[in-house]
Amino acid sequence: MVAIQVDSLTKRYGEHVAVDGISFQVEQGEAFGILGPNGAGKTTTLEMIEGLRKPDSGQVHVLGRPVWPDPRSVQSLIGVQLQSTTLFDRLTSRELLELFACFYNRSDGSERAQLVLEQVGLVGKADAYADDMSGGQQQRLAIALALVHDPDVVFLDEPTTGLDPQARRNLWDVIRAIHADAGKTVVLTTHYLEEAETLCDRVAIMDESRVIALDTPAGLIASLGAEVRISYTEGGEEQVAYAHDAQGAVLETLEAARQRGAQIEGLSVRGPSLEDVFLKLTGREFRE
């Protein structure tokens, strides 16, 4: 069953087209990633699906219900972690969660609060104020708040931005558990290639307001038609080549260099990644 249906969604800010007629579907139970550099239109897309930003044209359905014109019809079905929410000070994690459960008219607020605290690994900080917690803990609290009313679809907008590598990896485990153990549909935006590759069943790559590719991470990489990526530096410039056969390609590269009397450095051979997909599609390097 389709969890999210996006058809020709467009948003303009004056002359600037932030999202340019994009369409895609997210299946129920899927972990779906929107990957792209800053300013690609990821957050605007997400906010139009969540009901925070009204699209100029196009349609969004969540679990069969139209989000616009009245986003209230989907509010209890979705849980949202916004890119930057400083939450109320002087309320503890548990109090905040119970308060949010109450916003959704749930009578089992304290049980739900305990459950999601366990889900995001924040039981030890249940009675701490948000401003006394680390960045990673605050993000986990924001995710817990998105989960407290037991929604079917969870939106995470750049959940690991600004976190150190260790905190990022911890948060990945939390997101995997929400998706795999709790069976939620998860839609996340990210500008970390590795994050999209490791967390998502399917990834939509956005660039300059459009979706330029959409497939499983493996499918996107396979679309390069190459098994290996060979890179080296020659005369200060980085060269990249893709090939099927690692051994043959390396030998060929070295032989060619020898024949033209060139000195090559930093020869590296590895499997291709989403970074290479982005490079191939846009002709630009992906800058995280």
Q: Note the residues at the interface with another protein (CB under 8 A).
A: 50-52, 72, 75-76, 78, 80, 82, 84-91, 95, 98-100, 102-105, 145
Query: In one letter, which amino acid is 202?
Result: R
Taking the complex as a whole, the smallest distance from the CB of residue 247 to another protein amounts, in Å, to 54
Taking the complex as a whole, the smallest distance from the CB of residue 185 to another protein amounts, in Å, to 17
Taking the complex as a whole, the smallest distance from the CB of residue 189 to another protein amounts, in Å, to 16
Contacts 24+ apart (CB under 8 A), 116-125: 116/144, 116/147, 116/148, 117/93, 117/144, 119/144, 119/147, 119/174, 119/177, 119/178, 119/182, 120/144, 120/147, 120/174, 121/170, 121/174, 122/93, 125/93
Taking the complex as a whole, the smallest distance from the CB of residue 223 to another protein amounts, in Å, to 36
**Comparison of 56 and 95: residue with beta carbon closer to another protein:** 95
**Comparison of 116 and 203: residue with beta carbon closer to another protein:** 116
- What is the C-alpha separation between 277 and 286, in angstroms, rounded? 10
**Comparison of 63 and 240: residue with beta carbon closer to another protein:** 63
- What is the C-alpha separation between 107 and 21, in angstroms, rounded? 41
In this structure, what token pair is assigned to residue 29?
């139970």
Taking the complex as a whole, the smallest distance from the CB of residue 146 to another protein amounts, in Å, to 9
Helix %, strand %, coil % of the chain (to 5): 35, 30, 35
The answer for residues whose C-beta is within 8 angstroms of residue 225's C-beta and 6 or more apart is 242, 244
**Comparison of 85 and 231: residue with beta carbon closer to another protein:** 85
**Residue 193, φ and ψ in degrees, nearest 5:** -60, -45
Query: In one letter, which amino acid is 179?
Result: H
**Comparison of 137 and 273: residue with beta carbon closer to another protein:** 137
**Comparison of 148 and 277: residue with beta carbon closer to another protein:** 148
**Comparison of 95 and 152: residue with beta carbon closer to another protein:** 95
Query: In one letter, which amino acid is 15?
Result: E
In this structure, what token pair is assigned to residue 53?
């930003």
Query: In one letter, which amino acid is 63?
Result: L
Taking the complex as a whole, the smallest distance from the CB of residue 126 to another protein amounts, in Å, to 15
Packing angle of the helix pair 93-103, 135-147 (nearest 10 deg): 30
Taking the complex as a whole, the smallest distance from the CB of residue 198 to another protein amounts, in Å, to 27
